[in-house]
Amino acid sequence: MTFDITASIVLYKNERELLSKTIQSYLDSKLRLKLYLIDNSPTDELKDIINDPRVEYIYNNNNVGFGAGHNVAIRKSIPESSFHLVLNPDIYFDDHILGNILEYMRKDEAIGVLMPKILNADGSIQYVAKLLPTPFDFFVRRFLPFGPFRKISERFELRHTNYDQVMMAPFLSGCFMVFRTEALGQVGLFDEKIFMYTEDIDITRRVLTRYKAIFYPKAFVYHDHTRKSFRNFKTLGVYLKSAIYYFNKWGWFFDSSRREINKRTLSQFNG
């Protein structure tokens, strides 16, 4: 393999300062690495965001979606590296983080995908290691995340763990996912029929058919994130379409695999 790790960032009209911070966080890692910038923007004005031989800029001239964009880079990365990082353009981290993660993954070849602890810019936790969602979790939790539904949301987000222990989690956030490329070669890449929002649930679930999906809090990154799901009807429509596709694919109310996986996840904390 040529690199210790490869990574991809999918771009779409990004704010340059934060994107530059993300890119530099990755390039500062003490590893042999390569970065693919996959640009789904209407123009290629971000092509000069960085001048570094370790970075390859690819302009799609079309917004093909989150998963399809990353797949462009993953197809190139599988023969180049044992690990590939799917990275959001609003993440930053210290230079030792990736080395820490790879060291842990190399010790356990059963790990197919790993996500570190994700923090807000103020250091508070983003609860993004979750159970597989039921339709109730997915819709009610989003639209009524308060009152009698708060406990349901907290269970779904595994908050009782305090996010301070290494654990299996069947739904890891797509903002920062380190994949073993061998696993992607076996279970497939992102489902390109999902434009955005549920592709991370789908791919984590497929990795789980052969490997472990791990939340690893001994490493942490910062996610300068603003939820965009409901800013307008267009993004809300994409969100709902993605959810409907996911449940049509895996099952709505009768999903025995989901029940078994969630049961196994929660059993980690019994006793």
- Which has the higher per-residue pLDDT, 234 or 240? 240
Task: Indicate the range of 32-41, 118-127, 143-152 predicted with least confidence.
Answer: 143-152
Domain that holds residue 199: 5-267
For the chain, the 3-state helix, strand and coil shares in percent, each to the nearest 5, are: 40, 25, 40
pLDDT (average), residues 6-25: 97
DSSP-assigned letters across all residues of 166-233: -EE-SEE-TTEEEEEHHHHHHH-S--TT--SSSHHHHHHHHHTTTSEEEEEEEEEEEE-----TTSSH
Q: What is the pLDDT of residues 181-211, one digit of tens each?
A: 999 999 999 999 999 999 999 999 999 999 9
User: Cα angle at 220 between 131 and 204, to 5 degrees?
Assistant: 30
Q: What is the pLDDT of residues 66-104, one digit of tens each?
A: 999 999 999 999 999 999 999 999 999 999 999 999 999
Tell me what the pLDDT averaged over the chain comes to. 93
Using alpha carbons, list the distances in angstroms from residue 186 to 26, 145, 206, 210: 26, 37, 10, 8
Q: Name the residue among 218, 217, 216, 223 with its Cα closest to residue 93.
A: 223
Q: What is the pLDDT of residues 142-183, one digit of tens each?
A: 666 566 677 888 889 999 999 999 999 999 999 999 999 999
Residue 17 scores a pLDDT above 80: yes
236: CATH? 3.90.550.10
pTM: 0.94
Work out the pLDDT band at 231, boundaries 50, 70, 90.
low
Name the token pair of 65. 């979606």
Q: Look at residue 141 in the predicted model and tell me its pLDDT.
A: 65
Beta bridge partner(s), residue 222: 92, 119
Q: Look at residue 236 in the predicted model and tell me its pLDDT.
A: 83
For the chain, the domain total comes to 1
Residue 105 scores a pLDDT above 60: yes
Question: Is the distance from CB of 59 to CB of 44 less than 8 angstroms?
Answer: yes
Residue 230 scores a pLDDT above 60: no
Quick check: helix, strand or coil at residue 148?
Answer: helix
Residue 229 scores a pLDDT above 80: no
Q: Name the residue among 173, 178, 197 with its Cα closest to residue 119.
A: 173
Helix (H) or strand (E) holding 87: strand 83-87
Work out the pLDDT band at 232, boundaries 50, 70, 90.
low
